[in-house]
Amino acid sequence: MQLKALMKQHLAISDTVQRLIMNFSLQFLSTIIMAFIEITFNLYYYLVQVQEDVRNDQTKQVFDELFVTTVIYETVKIVLVVWACQSGKNQILEINTNVRDVYNSTSYKDVKYELQLFSLQLMHRDNIFSTKVLIVDATLLTMGSILGKMTLVYIEMLVLQMDMLYVNCVCVIKACFKQIDDGLVNLRELMINSEPYTLREINDEERNTVILMELKTLKKQHMAISDTVQMLNMIFTLQLLFTITKTFIFITFNLYFCLLRVQKSDSLNNPEKDIYYNTLIANVIFYVTKIMLIVWACETSKNQAMEISTTVIDISNSNNDKEIEYELELFSLQLMHRKNIFSAKGFTVNAKFLTTFQGFKDKRKGNIWQLFRATNFESLMYPCFTFCRILGVFPYKIRASTIKPCKPYYILSIIVICTFCVCELKNLYDLNFTNNFMLKGIPIKLERNCFYILSGFTTVITFLLSRPRMRLLQTILMVSLSLSKESYRNLSKLVHAKDIFGFFYIIVQVPIFYSNLPYDALHEIFLIYIYLLVFQMDMLYMNCVCILKACFKQINDSLAYLRIFMINDEPYLLRTTYHKQRNPFLLMQLKAQIKQHLAVSDIVQMLTTIFSLQLLSTIILTFIEITFNLYFYLVRLQEGAMSLNNLAKHVYNEIFITTFTYNIVKILLIVWACETGKNQALMINTTVHDIYNGISDREIKYELQLFAMQLMHRKNIFSAKVLIVDATLLTTMMGSVVTYLLILLQFLSMSNICNGVSLIP
């Protein structure tokens, strides 16, 4: 009886708890939110006041007392409420423990039955105190709940305010630069106007004295502002770097998660989907707007500082006074040494920051690598070398125009090649001797065997030829020192674009392709590595060919210039030079070009020797991939299209098109580079014959004959063992693809006719 009475009493109290929650839920939720807002903003206002520190002692004391009492009141109030709810919940939990203890210590069936009913009642009555979405217990005060949310809001507000403080400082500095520029413009008007309104009764000497004083004042002011810019960069550099990094990571990952949801056909219902996408758009707009404000402030301020240089030059051109001219020269030197750019460690914050990759800084040299703006061999090959180093196939380091082996990178390369060989052998074993390989059928196994064997061959050859490849790159580096910066800049537009785009295309496309096939994650990583390594080696070869083509072009341009020099009896640069003095100079230049051509020709032979096997493997693999991809596609059209639904058919078509396009574009790029390189080398023959026909000096003619003999013995064609890589290779390859495709289809037809069983997957 006593047990039943306690059960009824517990049920009544539980009902009371539910009614209490229903009646006080909204009110208590409002209290928690108000306490959160009051504590957050009071802390924020307090930190702002501490930072500004513009109050007198009495005001400061009053504000501190008000802050302390408000925060203590809100904190104590919320702590008391949480304590009451937490202790009430704990007291209820003790009933569960006591019921179990009584159940374990009694042997009466009726009592045990009632205790079981009591336990069920306790299970269905949680008796927790909550306010809508918030459970009021000790966790409410921890970082995982209200305190955590309050901290996150505080951090976001603090970061925003510090970023806006930086923008405000930059805008103030921009206004100071504008004031200096306006002052210089006024001085220029005073110099031009012989009788200015403000100095109508002052003679020229007095006017120049006033201008000189104003100029010195503006120069000192510019020096002070430039020092402020340096101070601003030093103080805010880490904070600005954090903001840039955080913005980049936030935008990148949010767009990535959004694309994943779109790709996986978002499973959220309409209200949740609207909330998610609205929140995403709002956050992305906030971060993009903030970074654009920072960049705009820095860019406009930098431009305002640069306008001062133009104004100083204009004043110097319109001035005749020596003292003023001397001060202007000092001002110009000061402007040259004070760049007044706004930066965050390796990042220069300007308009280019939003469109180009900035800040790949070589600390040893002080050089900054910029996308599409190469100035030497190292900056041109930077993306290719970086990706090769990531893959473990670039065990070198470059110092002072010297490529040397690096022991840690060699160890990494050995580990990578050993791991690769193990995975390669395992895949070949699974493919040919076990049933673990998911895809069935003779053609697919034949295609996979060719792929694994040829790509494995390329990888092993790449590792074995590391030393010869290092010597080749060192030789190309030394020969390419004669190329102009303009040549490197033109080359970088193609080289950087194809290297970076191709690398990330494989990173994205291969996982999408193999996600539709029954491969595990380790196998997908192995396949991505194979595709990346083969691609990077092909692009390294193509980059070397493009550099050699630029060297041939430079030789041809120099010879064309010498031809003009020889035909003109009195050239502009040597108008007062005698005819006998000119010919030794031309002879010396011609011999230099012959030596340069010989050096470049030797590199062509070295390049062909080192990359011959790898290039042959690439050509054969490309031919096989194109042939089998077309074959599988035609088979699908013939007998498998009806078995696929629309989505599967769409996915298969996309995979076929992207794979086919990738192989075609890659082989086209390689052939184009080799063909244009060969044609550029052949143009030198024509130029030499033109010079020979237009010159009468015997010594020069003799050297030209030697040059012509050298050109005859140096074909400078790019080949892969028996295959010459030029335009004819494409026609031969396309004809072979059609031939072998017809053979495969004929075998398919014969197999179906004879056996009645398709061997096609």
Tell me the pLDDT band of 151, cut-offs 50, 70 and 90: low
Most confident of 254-263, 274-283, 421-430: 421-430
Q: pLDDT tens digits, residue range 181-197? A: 888 888 877 776 644 44
Interval 392-416 mean pLDDT: 87
CB proximity list for 564: less than 8 A, separation 6 or greater: 571
Interval 724-745 mean pLDDT: 86
317 or 235: which carries more pLDDT confidence?
Answer: 235
Paired sense of beta strands 130-131 and 367-369, if any: unpaired
163-194+204-361 topology per CATH:
Glutathione S-transferase Yfyf (Class Pi); Chain A, domain 2 (1.20.1050)
Most confident of 23-32, 282-291, 337-346, 527-536: 527-536
- Domain(s) labelled CATH 1.20.1050 in the chain stretch across 163-194+204-361
Q: pLDDT tens digits, residue range 75-130? A: 888 888 888 888 888 888 788 888 888 888 887 788 888 888 888 787 777 777 77
pLDDT at position 498 over 90: yes
Interval 211-240 mean pLDDT: 87
Most confident of 28-32, 125-129, 659-663: 659-663
pLDDT at position 365 over 50: no
SS3 content of the chain, % helix, strand, coil (to 5): 80, 5, 15
pLDDT at position 140 over 80: no
pLDDT at 354: 62
Task: Indicate the length of the chain as a whole number.
Answer: 761
What's the rounded Cα separation, in Å, for the pair 616 and 541? 12
Give the CA distances from residue 245 to residues 114, 170, 235, 251, in Å, rounded to whole numbers and listed in that order: 63, 20, 17, 10
Tell me the pLDDT band of 230, cut-offs 50, 70 and 90: confident
Q: pLDDT tens digits, residue range 153-185? A: 767 788 888 888 989 999 999 999 899 988 888
pLDDT at 695: 82
pLDDT at 472: 94
Give the CA distances from residue 402 to residues 378, 406, 470, 477, 539, in Å, rounded to whole numbers and listed in that order: 10, 12, 10, 8, 22
Tell me the pLDDT band of 547, cut-offs 50, 70 and 90: very high
237 or 437: which carries more pLDDT confidence?
Answer: 237
Paired sense of beta strands 396-399 and 719-720, if any: unpaired
Interval 561-589 mean pLDDT: 64
Interval 694-707 mean pLDDT: 87
Residue 369 backbone phi and psi in degrees, to 5: -80, 135
pLDDT at 192: 67
CA-based nearest residue to 11, from 87, 124, 135, 129: 124
pLDDT at position 738 over 80: yes
680 or 29: which carries more pLDDT confidence?
Answer: 680
What's the mean pLDDT when you consider all of the chain? Answer: 80
